Structure 1
Amino acid sequence: MKIIAFANNKGGVLKTSLTVNYASVLAKKGYKVLIIDTDSQSNVLASFNNIVLDPSNYSIYDLVFKNKKIDDAIINVFENIDVIPSSQEWQDFDTEATKRFIYEKNFKSIKNILEDIKKTKKYDYVLIDTEPKKSANTFSVLLATEEIIIPFTLESFGIQALTEMYKYVNKAKEANKNLKIKALVATKTFARSKMEKIIKEQSSKFPEPGLCNISIPHSTTGASSVTLKKLPVYLTTKNKLTKAYEELVNLLEFGVLEENNER
């Protein structure tokens, strides 16, 4: 079972879109995928048929702080794709975790939950969507995951956020020796942007693993697919955007890169 987190302390970089479409590509290839949403905005579940968490359903909050059973929090949203959703309660993670630590009250870490999921042997991949900020919540994910994919935009604030994420990941590596950055993925790209061209030319200066050869182009079809068709775009249509998602998964998971598609 591979565990991959998608993280950036900056919002608006297609983090959730990348997570759900990455899962969709893998699912279409026959892999069993579990997505864990650790962002209280709960956009992962909403990406599939506009599902809203029912009060009777458990969320990641219930697994961590109420010791509920993992199976009771899992929701099947598509063939080969399950989700452990987030909830509004999850926004209190930092406060609740700190309080329990001070008063020595037990709670289950993300790492413990992933270990329990691994024992079930139900999934080939676990993908974790994180909140767009540095927090105890996000840090707990970095301590538990094996690999991290960092989506970012090719502009000054995007590069600044990327630099901050490198520092953050390096801190996590002090406790999680298995953590590695799997890829830096540029998102919302424009083929003719002069600024993006300049940044790409300077990408050799990026720390390892460097800029991924596949980028995710700017497109309105991603958002409209979730709004109108109630599913991630990879599951609804074929276009330049969906091709980029598939090429990204093929490269990062299977080492396949078509020369004429290199960006």
Structure 2
Amino acid sequence: MKNKIIIFSNIKGGVGKTTLCALFASYLAERGYPVMAIDADLQASLYRHRKREKDVAPEVQVPWNVDLLDTANRELLERVMGKLKEVPGVVLIDCPGNLNDRNLEYIYKSADTAIIPVSFDADTVDATGIFVKALKTVSAADLVLIPNRINTSEKKSEELRQRAQTTEFLGLVGTVIPTVKQSVAVKRYTTLYPLEKNQLSAVEPSFDKIIETLHLNE
């Protein structure tokens, strides 16, 4: 399989990029795609999550690897990104929500695709616009925007109109993927065990569309 570097990023916190990265890694692995994850976030949430799970269940075989990437060391970062471009499979990178770290340009420039989780509130939409504008100055990555943790029970006409307008706006800068509904199942993730049935039903339409958009089956 050809190498694909896919980053999960946005400067707005709380949009669920780490959770989606982990869920997507599991989804790909369960479908036979060679996949690994890189935690480049300063909080190292994904890496620490895996470590906690392995401490509890050291006998469980990992379905995909998680490595930690120090973005503070410019020379090391450049060297690592060069090696990741040679990996025969999908490399998912959980990026920090930071536009001030110039070293991150090495990651952005290496990315084939940026998956950007969003919500429909004005602050997140504005922050996403700022991030997309900055990203485009250093990266030629295709943009995939995924509305995440969305309360779909809201049926007010004004709310629906605003969401339609936001989706149309996001569609001008990238491919908008079907919404991932707000649910406890999606917030709760594991890096060791298969996706639960309710998790699968929540993410399958969105993740299948991502696979189609990225031509991972080719």
2:119 paired residue among 153, 156, 173 = 153
In the alignment, structure 1 residue 140 sits paired with structure 2 residue 98: no
Amino acid at match of 1:85: L
Q: Paired residue for 1:179?
A: 141
User: Structure 2 stretches of 5 or more lacking a match?
Assistant: none
Residue deviations 1:120-143 (CA, integer Å, cap 9, x gap): x5x410000011221324333212
Amino acid at match of 2:80: I
Q: Paired residue for 2:47?
A: 45
TM-score of the aligned structures, taking structure 1 as reference length: 0.68
SS where residue 245 of structure 1 aligns?
helix
Amino acid at match of 1:190: N
Residue deviations 1:185-244 (CA, integer Å, cap 9, x gap): 1111011334652232212233232432x1111112334x44xxxx159824111x4323
In the alignment, structure 1 residue 201 sits paired with structure 2 residue 164: yes
Q: Paired residue for 1:189?
A: 150
| Pair 1:210–1:145, CA change in 2 (3 A) | closer
2:37–2:92 contact (8 Å) kept in structure 1: yes
1:77–1:83 contact (8 Å) kept in structure 2: no
- Following the alignment from structure 2 to structure 1, what is the Cα–Cα distance between the partners of residues 182 and 208? 20
- Give the 4+ runs in structure 1 shifted more than 6 A: none
| Pair 1:163–1:249, CA change in 2 (3 A) | same
Q: Paired residue for 1:64?
A: none
- Following the alignment from structure 1 to structure 2, what is the Cα–Cα distance between the partners of residues 169 and 51? 33
Q: Paired residue for 1:215?
A: 179
- Structure 1 or 2, whichever has the larger Rg, is 1
In the alignment, structure 1 residue 125 sits paired with structure 2 residue 109: no
Tell me the percent identity.
22
In the alignment, structure 1 residue 242 sits paired with structure 2 residue 208: no
Amino acid at match of 1:215: T
- Following the alignment from structure 1 to structure 2, what is the Cα–Cα distance between the partners of residues 233 and 185? 24
| Pair 1:77–1:146, CA change in 2 (3 A) | farther
TM-score of the aligned structures, taking structure 2 as reference length: 0.80
In the TM superposition, what are the counterparts of 1:18-97 in structure 2 within 5 Å? 18-48=20-50, 50-51=52-53, 78-79=62-63, 81-86=64-69, 90=70, 93=72, 97=74
Amino acid at match of 1:188: R
SS where residue 47 of structure 1 aligns?
helix
Indicate the RMSD between aligned Cα atoms, in angstroms: 2.8
- Following the alignment from structure 2 to structure 1, what is the Cα–Cα distance between the partners of residues 142 and 82? 18
Q: Paired residue for 1:108?
A: 76
| Pair 1:253–1:196, CA change in 2 (3 A) | farther
2:210 paired residue among 241, 247, 252 = 252
SS where residue 235 of structure 1 aligns?
coil
| Pair 1:108–1:233, CA change in 2 (3 A) | closer
2:27–2:195 contact (8 Å) kept in structure 1: no
Q: Paired residue for 1:261?
A: none
Question: How many Å apart are 1:49 and its aligned residue?
Answer: 5.9
User: Structure 1 stretches of 5 or more lacking a match?
Assistant: 54-75, 98-106, 257-263
